[in-house]
Structure 1
Amino acid sequence: MYNLCSSQLRVFEHRKLDLLYFIHFSSALPLMLLVDLQVIYPPIIVPAFMIDLKAFYVETFDDRFFRTPPPFFQLFVWLEILYQAPVIAWSLGGLYRNSSKVPLVLLPYALVVFLTTLTCIVEYSFWDTLLYQKICLTALYGPYLALSALMASDMYLRLDKMINTKDTLRKKSRLE
């Protein structure tokens, strides 16, 4: 029997990190649109299921960023809608097609995600709340920090390899 999903994912057969990024982006974009970005939507257009989803998240994890967001958090939300969401949308296709532009696009993206996530982690580490609540938040924010650090390192190394390859070819052509 023909399995459409597995045949489509074969494009990632020898690109395990790209598959990881693709899967992450496939879930991160809907979550971003459904939960994170609600604060900028006009309330009249937010359906009840989205309000309930956000309320469940805030209640379950006691994430104060969504209860009483500090001023910098508004900036982070705007970064999500104006920068991160378009990059993720492009990257889904770029990763699937194995575009050579992926490292150039994802290196700055990964650095933005790393720095904004690290800022949030540092902020909530000073909240007057129970340790287990901080651990729960770290279980949510930590993977974003780790994945963005991995992605930034990976994209830097890919760009470095491309540049070194071009430099080597240029030197060889000068010698001939």
Structure 2
Amino acid sequence: MAASIFSRKNDLVYLIHFSIGLPLMFLVDLQSLYPPHLVPPFMASIKAYYISTYNDQFFISPPPFFKLYMWFELLYQAPVMLWAIPNLFRNSPKIPLVLLPFAVMVFLTTLTCMVEYAFWDVPRQQKIDMTTLYGPYLALSAYMIVDMYLRLGKMVKTATAASAAGGKKSQ
């Protein structure tokens, strides 16, 4: 039987993050990909509130790469998050194999956005506010990269040792 999600603290954090982040992705981030007539008023209100509160230029006048990042979210990140939620519960051995490239992508796309807004002609406080939004994604993805890399390393070491032991038995 798999260890409880509550005993696997890192996986619990990832599960909570995905469970909150996935709906937010569809409610706010991906609106730029929807036909405007399909965006319900409550979603438009959420996005308008976000823009008026943070003045996030990525949602006001996005640079060309940002639309590509939205497609990454829809076509790669969202499916991985959907897959990860039940598989984190089950403690699937595939978690590190799937979440390592996911974390690398999130880290690089978030870092790109943070470097971009660092050069915006906006007040310093706005950049600080943006960092309070984007920084946790950068930190969590960096942590996830290290966590998944270490898990994969442990799996490879175990498999290598088992393979070596099996080879000695057959001699």
Taking structure 2 as the reference length, what is the TM-score of the superposition? 0.96
1:142-157 aligned within 5 A? 142-157=135-150
Q: Give the total of aligned pairs.
A: 167
Partner of 1:114: 107
RMSD of aligned residue pairs (Cα, Å):
0.9
Percent identical pairs in the alignment equals 58
1:39 partner letter: S
Aligned with 1:162 (options 152, 155, 166): 155
Q: Distance in 1 between matches of 2:41 and 2:6?
A: 40
Q: Distance in 1 between matches of 2:131 and 2:87?
A: 30
Aligned with 1:173 (options 142, 166, 169): 166
Partner of 1:101: 94
In structure 2, list runs of 5 or more residues that go unmatched: none
2:66 partner letter: F
Structure 1 residue runs of 4+, over 4 Å off?
none
Partner of 1:18: 11
Q: Distance in 2 between matches of 1:79 and 1:14?
A: 32
Deviations, residues 137-165 of structure 1 (Å, cap 9, x unaligned):
00000000000000111011111100000
1:129-140 aligned within 5 A? 129-140=122-133
1:128 aligns with 2:117: no
Of 166-175 and 120-129, more deviation after overlay is shown by 166-175
Q: Distance in 2 between matches of 1:120 and 1:59?
A: 19
Q: Secondary structure at the match of 2:103?
A: helix
